Amino acid sequence: MHILNAPTKLMKEIGYGQGYEYDHNAADGFSGQNYFPDGMAREEFYKPVERGFEREIVKRLDYWKKLREKKR
């Protein structure tokens, strides 16, 4: 429920948006919050290859994975 918008008082009262961490407010610009439903494994939808600019993407994805594990 932390990712749900709470435009009304009732929605705020029942917990919509509670616990949401804005990435830009984190010291490293990454909150590491999980946006998948509880019990659902994190899917890997993109697997970059080791050539061209995709090498840099691999580094970035690995960096975020490590940050996510650190913040758990």
pLDDT at 38: 81
pLDDT digits (tens, 9 = 90+) for 11-70: 999 999 998 999 999 888 999 888 888 888 888 899 999 999 999 999 999 999 999 999
Q: Residue 8 pLDDT more than 90? A: yes
55-to-20, 28, 46, 47, 72 alpha-carbon distances in Å? 32, 22, 13, 11, 26
The reported pTM is 0.69
pLDDT of residue 2: 86
Q: What was the pLDDT predicted at 63? A: 93
Rounded distance between C-alpha atoms, residue 52 and residue 44, angstroms: 20
